[in-house]
A and B are shown apart, each in its own frame.
Chain A
Amino acid sequence: MSKALKQLTVVSGKGGTGKTTVVASFAALAESKVLADCDVDAANLHLVIEPTVVESGDFYGAKIAVRDLELCQQCGECERRCRFDAITATDIDELACEGCGMCVIACPHQALRLETVSCGKWYLSETNYGPMAHAKLAPAAESSGRLVTMVRQKAEDAAIERDIPLAIIDGAPGIGCTAAAAITETDLALIVTEPTLSGIHDMERVAQLCMQFNVPVTVMINKADLNAANTQRIRAYCADKGLGLLGELPYDESVTEAMARQMPLVEYRDGPVAQGIRAAWEELSEILSN
Chain B
Amino acid sequence: MLHADRPTVSVAAGKGGTGKTLFATSLAVALNEVQPGQVQLIDCDVEEPNADILLHPQIAEREPVKVLVPEVDLDTCTRCGRCAQECQFSAIAVIRDAVLTFPDLCAACGVCAYVCPVGAIAEVERQVGIVERGMSPEGIHFVQGRLSVGDQRATPVTKATARMVDVNMISILDAPPGTACPMQESIESSDYCILVTEPTPFGLANLQDAVETCRRMELPCGVVINRDGIGTPGVTDYCTAEGIDILLRIPQDRSIAEAYARGETLAHSFPQWRDELVDVYDAVCKFLRSESTLTT
Contacts and interface: CB of A to CB of B under 8 A. Distances in A.
Contacts of A139: 179, 209, 212-213, 216
Contacts of B13: 15
Sort chain A's interface into a size bin: 35 or more
A226 B48 CA distance: 21
A117 interface: no
Nearest to A178: B180
Contacts of A106: 114
A175 B261 contact: no
Contact of B109 (A43, A98, A144): A98
A176 B152 contact: yes
A137 B182 CA distance: 14
Interface residues of B, number: 60
Contacts of B254: 226, 251
Nearest to B21: A198
A102 B114 contact: yes
B26 interface: no
Interface in A207-261: 208-209, 212, 223, 226-227, 230, 251, 253, 256-257, 259-260
A197 B48 contact: no
B261 A195 contact: yes
A95 interface: yes
A114 B104 CA distance: 22
Interface string B12-43: 01111110010000000000000000000000
Contacts of B47: 173-176, 179, 205
A92 B238 CA distance: 35
Given A20-B202, A114-B88, A175-B47, A81 B209 contact: no
A156 interface: no
A57 interface: no
A279 interface: no
Contact of A14 (B17, B153, B257, B258): B17
Contact of B200 (A17, A173, A256): A256
Contacts of A288: none
B110 A83 contact: yes
Contact of A105 (B48, B111, B177, B206): B111
Contacts of B263: 196-198
A66 interface: no
Given A15-B18, A44-B206, A180-B104, 8 more contacts: A41-B180, A83-B110, A101-B109, A102-B114, A177-B153, A178-B178, A208-B149, A257-B230
8 contacts: A15-B17, A15-B18, A44-B201, A174-B176, A197-B53, A253-B230, A259-B200, A259-B201
Smallest CB-CB A-B distances: 6 pairs = A16-B17, A15-B16, A41-B178, A100-B109, A174-B47, A198-B50
Interface of A: 12-17, 20, 41-44, 47, 63, 81, 83-84, 95, 98-102, 105-106, 114, 137, 139-142, 144-145, 172-180, 194-199, 201-202, 205, 208-209, 212, 223, 226-227, 230, 251, 253, 256-257, 259-260, 262
